[in-house]
């Protein structure tokens, strides 16, 4: 393995050294050597314009990746356009992106290596087939020695990565997330998504917002903002989740507390939305562009205290929203509605299809627009009921408790009950009583 590395390094060095040699004097500093090459006039002029000549004449050592005049021309850098302090700061940033503190010779370079430039950004190195690249520039001449460092000649100007904005700023600049940004502002989440993070945001496009029919004007109330906030936070995951971290079937909890499900096939999907652009970097996280607004699952209703089930009136106003229930013995059903446009009640019926309530049956009383009526079922039975005003419109309901059958157990242990069940016993007593009455009547008559 070591032999392979040594051989590879020697090939790279040999290749670089075989490139046209730039005439240099290792007793002179880097700017002086660059000025004398004849192919770095633009670089020297840029260093002078940015006030960096004296900095690169310091002791160092420095490693400079020096673009040629042709490279400056190809990059379109016109020094006459750098007039203001801000523009000169940009020029300095570009130039310092070509300088590394310390001596980095060709033999020090390995494939995949990175080094931090003086402007604070990283340079990436690639070694392949006897060629060395710094970012997307090729080293054409290596190891030009100077008194305060080393020069490597490159064929392209290195441009520093753009300073990244936060997630809302990046989204605002895409041109396809106007609705998303407007929604974030309306829900008062802008400051949150400008925080340190990191966050992962699944960003629906403007077309996705239109298809979802989200009307921000209609959501401009306290309740509407709460709904909008829930929707938006369902698109945010705490932490950075790049596409490389996504696996098929993976589940992540969104900031609103609900889960997102990932599917990896021909593409990547989050729930039922497709990722159309992945890994858009931001200073505080990453953005994945999606083609659909993600709607949070409906929250489970909160049951009132003392209720195991709640039955209300459906949207039509002519039916119960849960017309049939199966419950356990001992559970409580609550019939609750408030401010309905029509009055309703609960009245037990004896047989299915009855439209009149059973006398003595369970009854909530007269029909009302607001009702809170509760029944705890303590035995197996099938409880059938109607809303009296709308019984003929089939506003009926059923509660099946346990087995649904009320089993009546006869008492066979009582002697008196047993006697009463003997055929002819009652008739015999009646006959004896009648015979006695006849005898008494006959006796009285004969005595007269």
CATH code, domain with 331? 2.60.40.420
User: Is 85 contained in some domain?
Assistant: yes
The domain total for the chain is 3
Which pair of structure tokens corresponds to residue 85? 């302090």
Those residues with Cβ within 8 angstroms of residue 43's Cβ, 6 or more apart along the chain or in another chain: 34, 66, 67, 68, 69, 72
Sign of CA dihedral 18, 21, 26, 29: negative
- What local confidence, expressed as pLDDT, does residue 301 receive? 75
* pLDDT surpasses 90 at 235: yes
Burial, 22: exposed, middle or buried (Cβ in 10 Å; 0-12, 13-18, 19+)?
Answer: buried
CATH of the domain at 14: 2.30.180.10
Q: Which of 132, 154, 176 is the last residue of a domain?
A: 154
- What local confidence, expressed as pLDDT, does residue 18 receive? 38
- What local confidence, expressed as pLDDT, does residue 410 receive? 58
Those residues with Cβ within 8 angstroms of residue 382's Cβ, 6 or more apart along the chain or in another chain: 398, 399, 400, 401, 404, 405
Strand partners, 204: 290
pTM for the structure as a whole: 0.47
User: Is 286 contained in some domain?
Assistant: yes
The share of the chain scoring above pLDDT 90, in percent, equals 62
State the residue range of the domain holding 15: 2-154
> Under DSSP, is residue 438 helix (H, G, I), strand (E, B) or coil?
helix
User: Is 423 contained in some domain?
Assistant: no
The neighbour count for residue 226, using CB atoms within 10 Å, is: 12
The string of pLDDT tens digits covering residues 268-292 is 999 999 999 988 888 888 999 999 9
**Judgement on whether residues 348 and 325 belong to the same structural domain of the protein:** yes
Average pLDDT over the chain reads: 86
- What local confidence, expressed as pLDDT, does residue 129 receive? 80
**Judgement on whether residues 119 and 181 belong to the same structural domain of the protein:** no
Which pair of structure tokens corresponds to residue 186? 């309306």
**Judgement on whether residues 56 and 127 belong to the same structural domain of the protein:** yes
The string of pLDDT tens digits covering residues 181-206 is 999 999 999 999 999 889 999 999 99
**Judgement on whether residues 130 and 249 belong to the same structural domain of the protein:** no
The string of pLDDT tens digits covering residues 91-148 is 899 999 999 999 999 889 998 898 999 999 889 898 888 789 998 899 999 999 999 9
Over residues 6-26, the mean pLDDT reads 46
> What string of DSSP letters covers 380-408?
-EEEEEE-GGGGGGT-EEEEEETTS--PP
The string of pLDDT tens digits covering residues 31-53 is 999 888 888 999 999 999 999 99
Strand spans (E) along 52-130: 62-67, 99-101, 114-116, 122-128
**Judgement on whether residues 179 and 220 belong to the same structural domain of the protein:** yes
Judge contact between 137 and 143, C-beta under 8 A: no
Give 167's pLDDT tier (boundaries 50, 70, 90): very high
Over residues 317-341, the mean pLDDT reads 96
Q: In what order do the strands lie in the sheet with 309-311?
A: 309-311, 332-337, 371-376
**Judgement on whether residues 30 and 146 belong to the same structural domain of the protein:** yes
> Under DSSP, is residue 364 helix (H, G, I), strand (E, B) or coil?
coil
Strand partners, 270: 262, 273
**Judgement on whether residues 268 and 196 belong to the same structural domain of the protein:** yes
Q: How many CA atoms lie within 13 A of 375 on its CB side?
A: 22
- What local confidence, expressed as pLDDT, does residue 15 receive? 42
**Judgement on whether residues 146 and 27 belong to the same structural domain of the protein:** yes
**Judgement on whether residues 86 and 189 belong to the same structural domain of the protein:** no
User: Is 200 contained in some domain?
Assistant: yes
């Amino acid at each position: 393995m070591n032999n392979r590395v040594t051989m590879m390094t020697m090939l790279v060095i040999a290749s670089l050294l075989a490139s046209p040699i730039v005439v240099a004097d290792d007793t002179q500093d880097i700017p002086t050597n660059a000025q004398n090459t004849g192919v770095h006039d633009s670089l020297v002029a840029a260093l002078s314009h940015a006030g960096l000549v004296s900095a690169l004449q310091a002791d160092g050592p420095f490693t400079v990746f020096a673009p040629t005049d042709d490279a400056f021309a190809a990059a379109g850098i016109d020094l006459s356009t750098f007039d203001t302090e801000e523009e000169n700061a940009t020029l300095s940033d570009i130039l310092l992106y070509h300088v590394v503190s310390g001596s980095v010779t060709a033999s020090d370079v390995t494939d995949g290596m990175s080094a931090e430039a003086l402007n604070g950004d990283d340079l990436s190195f690639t070694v392949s087939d006897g060629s060395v690249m710094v970012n997307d520039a090729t080293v054409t001449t290596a190891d030009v020695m100077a008194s305060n460092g080393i020069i490597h000649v490159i064929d392209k100007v290195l441009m520093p990565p753009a300073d990244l904005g936060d997630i809302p700023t990046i989204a605002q600049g895409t041109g396809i997330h106007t609705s998303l940004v407007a929604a974030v502002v309306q829900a008062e989440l802008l400051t949150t998504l400008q925080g340190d993070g990191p966050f992962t945001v699944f960003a629906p496009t403007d077309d996705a917002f239109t298809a979802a029919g989200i009307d921000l004007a209609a959501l401009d109330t306290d309740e509407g903002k709460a709904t909008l906030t829930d929707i938006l936070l369902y698109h945010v995951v705490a932490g950075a989740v790049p596409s490389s971290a996504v696996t098929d079937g993976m589940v992540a909890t969104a900031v609103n507390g609900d889960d997102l499900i990932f599917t990896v096939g021909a593409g990547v999907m989050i729930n039922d939305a497709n990722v159309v652009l992945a890994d858009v970097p931001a200073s505080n996280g990453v953005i994945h562009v999606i083609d659909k607004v993600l709607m949070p699952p409906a929250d489970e209703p909160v049951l009132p205290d003392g209720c195991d089930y709640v039955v209300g009136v459906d949207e039509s106003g002519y039916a119960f929203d849960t017309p049939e229930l199966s419950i356990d013995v001992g559970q409580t059903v609550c019939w609750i509605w408030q401010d309905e446009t029509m009055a309703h009640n609960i009245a037990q019926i004896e047989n299915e299809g009855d439209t009149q309530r059973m006398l003595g049956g369970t009854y909530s009383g007269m029909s009302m627009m607001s009702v809170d009526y509760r029944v705890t079922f303590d035995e197996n039975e099938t409880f059938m009921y109607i809303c009296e005003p709308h019984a003929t419109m089939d506003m009926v309901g059923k509660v099946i408790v346990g087995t649904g059958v009320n089993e009546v157990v006869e008492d066979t242990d009582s002697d008196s009950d047993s006697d009463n069940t003997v055929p002819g016993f009652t008739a015999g007593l009646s006959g004896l009583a009648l015979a006695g009455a006849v005898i008494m009547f006959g006796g009285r008559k004969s005595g007269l």
